[in-house]
Structure 1
Amino acid sequence: MKKVAILGATGLVGQRFIQLLQNHPYFEIVALCASDNSAGLKYAQAARWKLDIPIPSKIAEMVVRPCKPDIDCDYVFSALPSDVAGPIEDEFRKAGYTIFSNAASHRLDEDVPLVVPEVNLDHLELVKHQKGPGKLVTNPNCSTIGLVMALKPIMDNFGIESVTVVTMQAISGAGYPGVASLDILDNVIPFIKNEEEKMMIEPKKILGKVVENKIEYAKFDIVAQCNRVPVQDGHLLSVFVETSLKASTEKIIKAFEEFNPIKHMNLPTAPEKPLIYLEGVDVPQPKLHRNLGNGMSVSVGRIVQINERKFRFLALVHNTIRGAAGCAILNAEAYKHLYE
């Protein structure tokens, strides 16, 4: 059993880490870390718990620690906000810890893998070439995860020339307290800071290939427009893709349904089906489908052929499970399976 610590444990993503790590067969939480304002308090006092399950009793009584690299643990999960994550993760890395981060701070660093295990598991090998005693693995932006999982089987079978994506992103993606109620109720906010930039560059790294211990980014263009909508959980993506080879809706659906490249690894957090194609004219929907595969499956639907190489479809990802904590945990499971 690996002992793990959670940085940023009191926030929404930190709470998801706690939920998903309960009774985990590989990992045991031994430390919860947060800001100086929370350090020294019992977790139940420090956290404004927002999940629809009770705080686990053992967790509730744990005393929150500061984010300092003096913890007796094997792995560190980072749910820190990106504006503070960088230097804190650097401290832990220099102290020899293995970190699995949900933060954006180091995602585009040349020697840091940006991983969704079903999509680019081979990128984990970059950790072998990281300098210093510690290791750092990151997972992408929440919407990016849903996008690349849907694009990967298309790319593998038909190639990709260009992608356009419009997102409708849940309010939980903004953290707590997040978006002011007077701004989001009865409204859509057509701007999320840095989101479009992330969605236009991160997929190119993820869908790129390892060449001489570096990532050669994918060559196709991505255009993104991101919107905040009054939904609690679940990011819905409207995707337009131009393929390199001729394709059909039937062939793309078949590629979606057959996509399961890490099934043989039997990782605890991996869903039975990473992609679930839904038949119907009005699916997927966040309220109905965000929890498929325990929140780890990406659901796709409404695929329409525009011409022999252009298609559009919808994809839905649970932004705080598959799109955040769940992906980081799956990365840690894959890392343990491959390297320890």
Structure 2
Amino acid sequence: AGPAKAPAGAVTVDPAVVGDLAAKTKSSPPHTTFWLRPGKHRLEADRYAQVIPKEGDRYLGAPGAVLDGGKKNQYAFGGRARDVAIRYLTVQRFVAPPDEGVVNHDSADGWVIEHATIQLNSGAGLMAGAHQKVRSSCLRENGQYGMNAYKANGRIRGLVVEGNEIVGNNTGDWERRREGCGCTGGIKFWAVNGADIRGNWVHDNRGTGLWADTNNNDFRIDNNVLEDNDGAALIYETSYNAVIRKNTIRRNNWVEGRREAKKGDSFPYATVYLSESGGEPRIPARTDKIEVDGNVLENNWSGITLWENADRFCNSPANTSSGDCTLLVKKTNRCAKPAIVTAPLYADCRWKTQRVDIHDNRFVLDKAV
């Protein structure tokens, strides 16, 4: 529960006044603390109405404080101000467009989201910026992602996701609406350099639980419980250098795995899927390999699969990564004939599954299952 009384020096926000939060944020200096009284807070009816914090602003919800978009407003918190904190607040029923987010819509850096509930929104409940920390929060039943860790300009560095419940996301079932889009997940990570994903409960998402897709590097994914997701518990795709350790992974992938099997597809739809991902010593990280150890996998559809598609290289028609190139080649146009057929580009233009060490995991399968 948040503070029952306004902290000293805080600006009190009244739920009875529509738009009070946005207006007081606009009129207050940076580094202001706002205390939201109990009750349902609303923005103006305009779909683009939103709160635009200033640097260092703090938003604290009293017990029962809810910021409700009323299925009219697209975004709750936006702008590019750094070091904003949101604590003890429920944010719900905003209607962000696909691939966009409700909280930290513009992927500003240094935000802290703690003890918050972000639920029942369209798009992504939460976006991410560099050095963002998401702790002890619930990302629940959002239309596409619980969190979309994507930054349009620049990479996300130093992301921490700790002690959260990430449940029931992708209510819009976007993989069926856009077949093969790869545009869902409890959390989706894009080009994140350095992430600690620990102690989370990721369950009952429609699709993949955690999905790191395209040029992620230096991940530590440990001590999470990943269970009852319709798809894979974890996908690490076209990415580098990770430790996946001491996770409990149960009853995942039964919906998607069974569905593909009924289609006659013999591909081993994995619960932990390492796709064109491996260790690369030339890319700085806390490890120079992918290490999968100390995990318990129980009653999942399939287990751990390593896959490499030789056609996943820069400028290839089979490269589904939105025109991106590997982290070893800065300029995509270098990966073209005639240079690409010779070293080093022949190797460096392609994502590889290499330097993977899998050990000391426990696999349990109930024969009745």
Structure 1 length-normalised TM = 0.29
Structure possessing the higher radius of gyration over alpha carbons:
2
* Structure with the larger RCO, 1 or 2 (CA within 8 Å, 6+ apart): 1
Structure 2 length-normalised TM = 0.27
Q: Larger helix proportion, structure 1 or 2? A: 1
Q: Larger strand proportion, structure 1 or 2? A: 2
